Structure 1
Amino acid sequence: MNLLAAFDALLEEGSVAGAAARLHVTAPAMSRSLGRIRRTTGDQILVRTGRTMTPTPYAIAVREQVHELLHQVRGVLAPSRELDPATLERTFTLRWHDSLVALSGPALLAAVRAEAPGVRLRFVAESSVDTPELRRGEVDLEANANQPGAPDIRAEKVGESRLVIVVRQGHPLTRGGTVTADRYAAAEHVTVSRRGNLGNALDDALARLGLTRRVVASAPTEAAALQFARGSDLLVSVPEATTRSTVADLGLVVLPLPLELPLAPVYLSWHQRYDTDHAHAWLRGLARTALTLRGAS
């Protein structure tokens, strides 16, 4: 079992140090495990190429099988008794988009406190780059608009919402009738991007109409972007659902977006190691309800 877990971690992380950190063991111990795996399989598994390690063809071929075997073993060894949330003592770490924390976090926290007073929730900010904490077990649940592509990450769409325009009261777009694509493009914009991107799918939609817009700033969070819009003639385009708990309090105005775009999705994501974890499944159910009821349009 330990060797299989080490094999899985090495294939996922692609390095001895990363696998050691994920399984909370020392790098020398993981190096010894890699040696045992090499002797058992007769394959190098990972070979150094410059500063990185590359999986061998054999390792690539068996990666999914190793994942599935480890998942089956954990399922067999997992306790089959029913979970009693009232007696549960555990801390869960959740990395959600900031607007979803504001929108659905209070409902989730209230539900958790009502059923499991011994459970604590740690909401942590999203990083500006993709990070492996979900795969390492350092983050239990993610919620945002991104559908993970990794085979070991489960994802479930729990909501979706159309995009709308948010502006200050008295903004020029609130006067003069219908907001057309031309009027929308002529305004000055602020984007929401944890990576600092100044462009997104809205620019592609405008380009199809022969239009361009002027983006003068990007904000790392939706809350910051709304503050920019509140104090200027900048407009921000965000999912309608995430504005419900903040727009009225900030004295902002919501206008329809004059572009044909797909609905903005909300995905709940977790690592497959938690599929048979009763406490994790219980939390996923509460999170799903909170996000579906408050995040969907």
Structure 2
Amino acid sequence: MRFKGLDLNLLLALDVLLDEQSVSRAAERMNISQPAMSAALTRIREYFSDPILQLHGKKMIPTAHAIRIRPRLKEVLRDLDVLISESSQFDPSKSDRRFRIGTSDYLLAVLFPGVTQEIEQTAPAIRIETVQPSDSMSSTLDQGFLDLIISPEYMLSSDHPTEPLFEEDYVVVGWAKNPAFRRRKLTQDDFFKAGHVAVELGRVRRTSFAEFHLQDMPRARRIDMNVSSFLVAPEMVVNSMRLTVMQRRLALLFAERLDIAISEMPFPFPKMQEMIQYHSTREKDPGLRWLIDLVKKHAVMDDKKR
């Protein structure tokens, strides 16, 4: 789509490039290849007759023109997002809308199979695109690249509305033949003497909810392995003496196919509050409301199954 000869998709690319000041990071954030982002930067430079980003040593620095247009660019993108989202009607059975959701593989595994099955039956042209958590997820929502974030409360921005989804508690998971699981309940000594598989997310704010709280324990664990996916952690304890702390819903799901045992935490541990967040300009978006209500419906159904 063009306006005065400019491909409007390039405005999104320009915004991300100015935020990241890196072609590779901008490409990662927009989920496109680095050559594609480089090509977009070339077209942006040609249209504006300005380098936009210039190499200074090993860094890319915005030009004076880029700095001057950046605030207006963000306003334009926000206004476009509001304009597009404020449709007066939404019929899921006829809509071909694409929703982009920032969420973890844990939620994709325990919640979204039911959500996507219902969408297939009642809104077959609706498309769902999911984005894994990252350090830039909140800013991605700010700029309209995401429709929703589903995440623990502590990871969300205070700038946009949030709604509670469900509470999750944590359990200890290990190989079913691990001697520590022969007793009815794992002890604190069992927990701290074992090696652990830890899940860490992002490049800067690396800790998951469990790691965030376990780091404050008065007694340190021995972490044998760090992984970047909740779905990998239970696989890594099978045929070993390692343990991992994980969400109860996910542990129960994996217990159906892996030779694992599940124990309650051997000390008090906080519950995680999963939340839904959306941009403040999208509160009256009927399509987004439909999706939020659908996700909430399946969260309640999952609670009742447990």
Aligned to 1:214: 222
> What is residue 140 of structure 2 aligned with on the other side?
134
Please give the residue correspondences for 1:35-54 in structure 2 after superposition, counting only pairs within 5 Å: none
- The answer as to 2:185 corresponding to 1:178 is yes
Aligned amino acid, residue 134 of structure 1: T
Alpha-carbon shift at residue 187 of structure 1 (Å): 1.3
d(CA) in 2 for partners of 1:77, 1:224: 38
Deviation at 1:283, TM superposition (A): 1.1
Residues 77, 283 of structure 1: alpha-carbon distance in 2 compared, 3 angstrom cutoff: closer
Cα distance, 1:233 vs structure 2: 1.1
State the partner residue of 1:203.
214
- Normalising by the residue count of structure 1, what TM-score does the alignment of the two structures yield? 0.69
Alignment match of 2:91 (pick from 53, 64, 84): 84
Secondary structure of the equivalent of 1:83?
coil
**Distance change >3 Å, CA 76–CA 269, structure 1 → 2:** closer
1:155 corresponds in structure 2 to 162
1:290 partner SS:
helix
Q: Deviations over 1:60-81 (max 9, x none)?
A: xxx9xxx99x989987996564
1:272 aligns with 2:280: yes
SS at match of 2:101: strand
Query: Aligned partners of 1:261 and 1:11: how far apart in 2?
Result: 41
Q: Which amino acid aligns with 2:91?
A: D
Cα shift readout 1:218-274 (whole Å, capped 9, x = no counterpart): 111111111101231111001112222222211211101011121012122222232
Q: 1:286 to 1:137 in 2, by over 3 A?
A: same
Taking structure 1 as reference, are residues 71 and 96 closer, same or farther at Cα in structure 2, changes over 3 Å only? closer
Structure 1 residues 11 and 110, CA gap change in structure 2 (3 angstroms)? closer
- State which of 209, 212, 234 in structure 2 corresponds to 1:226: 234
Please tell me whether the aligned partners of residues 156 and 269 of structure 1 are also in contact (alpha carbons under 8 angstroms): yes
**Cα 1:73/1:134, change in 2 over 3 Å:** closer
CA-CA distance at 1:176 after TM superposition: 4.1
State the Cα deviation string for residues 140-187 of structure 1 (Å, max 9, x = none): 222222441251x33222111111001111112112453221221111
Identity percentage of aligned residues = 19
* 4+ aligned runs moved over 6 Å, structure 1: 10-15, 70-78
Q: Tell me which residue corresponds to 2:107.
A: 100
**Number of paired residues?**
276
Instruction: Decide whether aligned partners of structure 1 residues 77 and 287 sit closer, same or farther in structure 2, where only a CA change above 3 A counts.
Output: closer
Q: Give the letter aligned to residue 250 of structure 1.
A: L
> How far did residue 96 of structure 1 move?
1.6
| Structure 2 counterparts to residues 251-262 of structure 1, below 5 A | 251-262=259-270
Look up the equivalent residue of 1:225 and give its one-letter code: A
Q: Say which SS state the counterpart of residue 160 (structure 1) adopts.
A: strand
Distance 1:148 1:241 in 2: 22
Task: Give the gaps of 5 or more residues in structure 2.
Answer: 1-13, 31-39, 46-58, 62-70
- One-letter code of the match for 1:99? Y
> Are the counterparts in 2 of residues 191 and 236 from structure 1 also a CA contact under 8 Å?
yes
* The one of 167, 174, 177 aligned to 1:167: 174
Amino acid corresponding to residue 157 of structure 1 in structure 2: P
Alpha carbons 1:108, 1:286 under 8 Å: kept: yes
Q: Gapped runs of 5+ residues in structure 1?
A: 1-9, 32-50, 54-62
Q: Would the aligned equivalents of 1:266 and 1:295 in 2 still touch at CA under 8 Å?
A: no
Matched with 2:36 is: none
- 1:147–1:267: 8 Å Cα contact kept in structure 2? no
> In the alignment, does 2:118 pair up with 1:118?
no
Letter of the 1:161 counterpart: E
C-alpha displacement of 1:95: 2.4
1:247 to 229, 251, 255: 255
RMSD between superposed Cα atoms in Å: 4.6
The answer on whether the counterparts of 1:161 and 1:241 sit within 8 Å (CA) in structure 2 is: yes
One-letter amino acid matched to 1:203: L
